[in-house]
Structure 1
Amino acid sequence: MHKAPTMLRGAVLAALLMANIAQAAAQGGSGAVQAWLTTGDRSKLMARSPDLHFSRAKPADSVIDIDPATRFQEIQGFGASITDASAFLIQQRMNPAQRESLLRELFGRNPGLGMSFTRLTIGASDFSQSHYSFNDMPRGESDPALARFSIDPHRATVLPTIQRALAINPQLKVMASPWSAPGWMKSSDSLVKGALKPEAYDAFARYLGRYLSAMQSEGVPIFALTLQNEPHFEPDDYPGMRVDPASRAAFIGGHLGPLLAREHPGTTLFDWDHNWDEPDSPTTVLKDPVAARYVSGVAWHCYAGNVAVQAQVHAQFPGKDTWFTECSGGAWATDWAKNLMFFTRTLSIDTTRGWARGVLLWNLALDENSGPHLGGCKDCRGVVTIDSRTGEVTRNVEYYALAHTSRFVLPGARRIQSSEAAGELSNVAFRNPDGSLALVVANGAQAARTFSVRLKGQSFRYTLPGMSVATFAWDGKP
């Protein structure tokens, strides 16, 4: 079992990573292929390897053929959710210099990871220090006029965090999801458990519209909503709400969809926002002719089922986008190399080969006690860990898995054709708007694998250690 890197080691590694990235532009050179490596034994963490060059030498037995002319979905990017817990730690457990350094490292580019996709919670999740909505009322009372609506719970932590992230990276796209409607709109009259009452559909649609307006007024445009996080799950100890497919279709088609079209035409709607194991739920909504007009895509989580359903649903509804919007690592999975393989092979490679336009992990940051949280997951892990006593940052395996894509795949990139090599090699390739190419390759075998990457009759050869990941980036020319 590997021990987690110390905070000091993490800081040194991050400094080296930033220095390597800063060197890249100067050292790249026309025709050079940059190679960046993370190994399962952690001896290399986003380390710059010697540049490679295309040639007409005989390729290896395993070949990845790249065809930039065959293009698939447009990519928005990669990132993680700015939960209440993440924002609290960033704003109230880091000093100003630490805070600015981390936000630039995560959302900035050259140097930086360039995260360009994030998710906010509309009210509380389990990673909040209290259970709240933006329109709470005493039990037994209601507020259909939304006179008590306010986003004040986000002013101290979430708003300054997302505002600064947008200032650092104006290409950052923000989606948002509620974990529950206000309790008075639900069968339980509580944020915990219960279903959305049909007589509250209009009020809940206006509630979401008020949220969009309030965030826009704070300089935070929300490009996409889901109407409910994990609508088939009613947790016992934190906000949740059951909304079955027929209810979602009725709510979208009769209330939320028309409101968005009328008042917030810049915000789109994703259905589902739940696991791969129930594809019939989003397809039921997409088969509703009224609701389908307002749904632009399907959002997926990783906690049950198989990623292959993304492509299957896309084949049924090719006009609808695919997004991957949540997955968390945690103390239940202790093998660093296996985690690296899962987060890279399944979440970066398989989801985008399965038509995902964006990929989100769950908490951007948690503390040394997997929190703060109130109910829910007790052993989740953030992309980074922030020490609540010192503000020091530890970069977790999720950080490096994200870096292999977010650093090199720019907003507006298109996934392009890349053949799948034999054995345990997985890959995905992208063409950026400037014509540059990025290829991510993961070797899930224990032993090293040698392969060639071939483009227009020329190739370069590389040996990738076992349980390791490499990203190759070049100007697009062989």
Structure 2
Amino acid sequence: MRKLLPSLIAIVILSVPLCVMAEGTPVQIWLTTADQHHLLSQQSDLSFRDQQAASIDVVVDSTKTFQTMEGVGAAMTDASAILLQQKMPAALRQKVMAELFSRDNQGLGFDFTRITIGASDFSDAHYTLDDVPPNTSDETLQHFSMAPQSLYVMPALQQALTLNPSLKIMATPWSAPAWMKTNHHLYQGELNPVFYDAYAHYFLRTIESYQMHGVPIFSISVQNEPHFEPKDYPGMRFNPEDRARFIGRYLGPLFAQHKVTTKIWDWDHNWDQPESPLKVLSDPQAASYITGVAWHCYAGNASAQSIVHHQFPTKETWLTECSGGEWSPDWESSLPWLESNLIIDSIRHWSKGVLMWNLILDQHFGPHLGGCANCRAVMTYNTETGALTRNAEYYAFGHISKFVHRGAKRIASSDQTEGVNNVAFINEDGSIVIVLCNTSTTPHNVSVRSGTQRFAYQLPPKSVITAVWK
């Protein structure tokens, strides 16, 4: 009889629900629809009760947790900073910055942003932080200067930090200074290995300079889109073998020597080439200094993140760039794509943070110099009329940023079915958040089960909801 006792105990334990949800527990609902009739609009509360499953039944299990979330946001490019600091009246700038970065009821609460070290295509001039005349070099960085980024980017970041002191800032170069490159030009080319040490000190000076102005740099990648050489704006090829050598023998040891806590991330390019970060991480010396892998959305899909995660599970995953644009102007395609691919899929494939590209652009999709002529930002500011437009990106990201706080953990939830995708979290205060996106053209009846209780909701076509309960 004693031999049967452990089995009986196991049967009893397994029969107890993993999560007990009291009947009548209220559920708050926020809705955005592609027809824009609802824009992060709070709906009437629902409640958990004992009821039958809908045709789509999503099961949430808060006892099974995954990665810890750090935040979402968008890049403070030169273009965005110029608009905010130079083109926008001070009162409106304060309102816009509070709306984007503060965590009060009116703010999106962006916790994560990205800046460029030097120029990108979204700058009004092409520059680096150490430009010297042609046919000269500056290995000791005597001509290093933060002046180009002190005018607009620095004050914009300082203001963002007053609104959200825990804001995490990523910094990425589009090109090394021309004198460090094989072609002596900001466009195309590669980093000359002779200048690996100088380039490592270039990163160190950048981080130290921002820190001196009260702007801590949380993380860097060593090159934006290292497999792409743009022809009309700064860029640079940086192959995986070379990135591994640069990080493992120069940048990593230099950061360690100076006790720099800024994280080093590899890749910062598209989902379609996971073999590139895998090659860098296979170098033990480089891998010892790399804490994560950064991804872009422009080719492939988010499942690539899991390919790398499963081989290197201690390395963090981040989605650090994606841009909407006039190639997809209608909300019916852009809203569900953004929510399903950037928020839901990337996080289900281990992203700790998600970034859009430009935070704000003008009515001409700029200022920009070369590169993308029709990229869309989170917000659009019309410099002629003063009108401010909140784009689909604003609402897609708001459905997570307002409700999922730093320190939240992703929790288990059912996989996508019949055009409805989801991701769920538990905040440190015990509140549970689930984001559901209907990517189809028809409404879907959905139930969400926690323990033995459910709430039910009819998701409109091409819509997003966020549900929150305790």
Q: How does 1:49-448 map to 2 (within 5 A)?
A: 49-111=43-105, 112-420=107-415, 422-448=417-443
Q: How far did residue 59 of structure 1 move?
A: 2.7
Cα contact 1:80–1:360 (8 A) shared by 2: yes
Q: C-alpha distance in 1, partners of 2:39/2:178?
A: 46
- The count of residues paired between Structure 1 and Structure 2 equals 446
Q: Which amino acid aligns with 1:350?
A: D
Q: Partner residue of 1:26?
A: none
CA RMSD of aligned residues (A): 1.0
Q: Partner residue of 1:42?
A: 36
Cα contact 2:182–2:190 (8 A) shared by 1: yes
Q: C-alpha distance in 2, partners of 1:401/1:192?
A: 34
Q: How far did residue 435 of structure 1 move?
A: 1.1
Q: SS of 1:433's equivalent?
A: coil
Q: How far did residue 334 of structure 1 move?
A: 2.1
Q: Percent identity?
A: 51
Cα contact 1:341–1:442 (8 A) shared by 2: yes
Q: Which amino acid aligns with 2:143?
A: R
Q: How far did residue 261 of structure 1 move?
A: 1.7
Q: Which moved more, 1:301-310 or 1:196-205?
A: 301-310
Residue by residue over 1:247-272, the C-alpha shift from the partner in whole angstroms, topping out at 9 and shown as x without a partner, is: 00000000001111222432111000
Q: Which amino acid aligns with 1:415?
A: R
Q: C-alpha distance in 2, partners of 1:207/1:334?
A: 39
Q: Which amino acid aligns with 1:297?
A: G
Q: C-alpha distance in 2, partners of 1:407/1:419?
A: 23
Q: How far did residue 302 of structure 1 move?
A: 0.7
Q: C-alpha distance in 1, partners of 2:35/2:346?
A: 25
Q: Which amino acid aligns with 1:105?
A: E
Q: Which amino acid aligns with 2:29?
A: A
Q: How far did residue 307 of structure 1 move?
A: 1.4
Q: Which amino acid aligns with 2:357?
A: W
Q: SS of 1:341's equivalent?
A: helix
Q: How far did residue 460 of structure 1 move?
A: 0.4
Q: Which amino acid aligns with 1:60?
A: A
Q: SS of 1:426's equivalent?
A: strand
Residue by residue over 1:402-461, the C-alpha shift from the partner in whole angstroms, topping out at 9 and shown as x without a partner, is: 100111110111100011253111000011111111100001111110111111211100
Q: How far did residue 309 of structure 1 move?
A: 0.7
Cα contact 1:118–1:174 (8 A) shared by 2: yes
Q: C-alpha distance in 1, partners of 2:168/2:156?
A: 14
Q: How far did residue 192 of structure 1 move?
A: 1.1
Q: Which amino acid aligns with 2:35?
A: D
Structure 2: runs of 5 or more not aligned: 1-23
Residue by residue over 1:52-84, the C-alpha shift from the partner in whole angstroms, topping out at 9 and shown as x without a partner, is: 111112232321111111000011011000000
Q: Partner residue of 1:474?
A: 469
Q: When the two structures are superposed, what TM-score results if normalisation uses the length of structure 1?
A: 0.92
Q: C-alpha distance in 1, partners of 2:430/2:151?
A: 41
Q: When the two structures are superposed, what TM-score results if normalisation uses the length of structure 2?
A: 0.94
Q: How far did residue 295 of structure 1 move?
A: 0.5
Residue by residue over 1:213-256, the C-alpha shift from the partner in whole angstroms, topping out at 9 and shown as x without a partner, is: 00000111001000000011110000001110000000000000
Cα contact 2:324–2:376 (8 A) shared by 1: yes
Cα contact 2:188–2:230 (8 A) shared by 1: yes
Q: Which amino acid aligns with 2:402?
A: R
Q: How far did residue 294 of structure 1 move?
A: 0.4
Cα contact 1:171–1:411 (8 A) shared by 2: no
Q: Which amino acid aligns with 1:97?
A: A
Q: Which amino acid aligns with 1:384?
A: M
Query: Which protein shows a greater Rg?
Result: 2
Residue by residue over 1:285-312, the C-alpha shift from the partner in whole angstroms, topping out at 9 and shown as x without a partner, is: 0000100000011100011112111111
Q: Which amino acid aligns with 2:92?
A: Q
Cα contact 1:63–1:421 (8 A) shared by 2: no
Cα contact 1:209–1:264 (8 A) shared by 2: no
Cα contact 2:190–2:236 (8 A) shared by 1: yes
Q: Partner residue of 2:454?
A: 459
Q: Which amino acid aligns with 1:222?
A: I
Cα contact 1:93–1:391 (8 A) shared by 2: no
Cα contact 2:337–2:439 (8 A) shared by 1: no
